[in-house]
Structure formats: structure tokens, C-alpha cells
């Protein structure tokens, strides 16, 4: 990914330098957060990520990994007091453009059934529900919905 910026916002590749701040943001975004070591392990095993800065503040992150069948979004989080400003959209849109350019065929993710904010966000890009994992999440226990997006339908990367 190239560094890109709009106004005082900029996207960067997630590196180990970002991990302490991303770990704190992860803890503010999820009821059962991953540890910094868990995120680091994902990167060490070939995962990749993007962070979004607004000025000096790291406001959001996206963590993904390659699957045999496409790309999986493992984590997407935006600083609670910076939400509804299009930052998640910026991170997802950047990923979709890159994956489409790379010839990735599909994008997958799991989301809590009650997570209306994320479900709406992903529905806006055309993600559809393709499965359910009963009692997948802890704290609180809840089903995961499996969502998928077929990138082959958007060969020019525009959406």
C-alpha cells in the first residue's frame, strides 16, 4: 500500500511500531480484545494491516490475512470518540481497492449478530450473509454471522 492522505488523515501499513497503540485501541473497541501478542503473531504469520491517522492520533485499524479463497478481515476498529466520520469506510474502501487490483476474488469476515454498525457498514459494500457460527463469541456469548463479498463482480474496483 502506498501512503495516502486526505486533509490531515493518512493511511499507513500496520507495523510493529504501531502495536502498542493498536493494542490499546483494540481494548476500547472489543469486549474480548486480542492481546498485542495475538496481533503481532497474526502479522508474523503473514497477516497484514492498515492504520488510519488523523493528525497525531491513530483513529482506526484494519487487520487481515490471506485465505486460500480470498482475504479475511480479522479486525476493524475505530476510536470510540471518532466514529461516524467515515474512518471505517476509508479503511475498508482502501482494502477493497488493493485486493481488487491484486486479483483477490472474495473477502470474508465474521461479525457479532448484534453488531448493527458493522453489519450496516459491510452491507453497504454488498457483503452478504453466507453462514452462521453458533456461540462463536465470548463475553457475551453470541453467534457470529459469516459475511462474504465477491470482488469478481467489481473488476474496476469501483463501488
- Which are the contacts of 114, defined by CB distance < 8 A and separation ≥ 6? 142
The whole-angstrom separation of Cα 150 and Cα 129 is 12
Region of residue 84 (left: phi > 0; alpha: psi -120 to 50; beta: else): left
Judge contact between 60 and 77, C-beta under 8 A: yes
Residue tagged 457470529 (cell numbers) = 144
- Residues of this chain that interact with ligand COA (CB under 6 A) are 29-30, 76-78, 83-89, 109, 111, 115-118, 120-121, 124
| Shortest Cβ 118–ligand COA spacing (Å) | 4
Residue 120 Cβ vs ligand COA, minimum distance, rounded to whole Å? 4
At closest approach, how far in Å is the CB of 153 from ligand COA? 20
Amino acid at each position: 500500500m502506498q501512503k495516502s492522505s486526505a486533509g490531515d488523515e493518512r493511511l499507513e501499513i500496520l507495523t510493529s511500531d504501531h502495536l502498542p497503540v493498536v493494542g490499546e485501541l483494540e481494548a476500547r473497541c472489543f469486549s474480548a480484545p486480542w492481546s498485542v501478542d495475538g496481533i503481532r503473531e497474526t502479522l508474523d504469520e503473514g497477516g497484514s494491516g492498515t492504520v488510519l491517522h488523523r493528525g497525531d492520533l491513530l483513529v482506526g485499524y484494519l487487520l487481515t490475512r490471506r485465505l486460500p479463497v480470498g482475504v479475511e478481515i480479522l479486525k476493524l476498529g475505530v476510536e470510540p470518540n471518532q466514529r461516524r466520520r467515515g474512518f471505517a469506510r476509508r479503511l475498508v474502501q482502501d482494502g477493497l481497492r488493493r485486493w481488487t487490483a491484486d486479483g483477490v476474488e472474495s473477502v470474508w469476515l465474521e461479525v457479532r449478530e448484534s453488531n448493527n454498525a458493522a453489519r450496516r457498514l459491510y452491507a453497504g459494500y454488498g457483503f452478504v450473509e453466507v453462514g452462521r457460527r453458533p456461540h462463536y463469541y465470548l463475553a457475551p456469548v453470541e453467534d457470529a454471522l459469516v459475511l462474504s463479498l465477491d470482488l469478481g463482480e467489481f473488476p474496476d474496483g469501483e463501488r
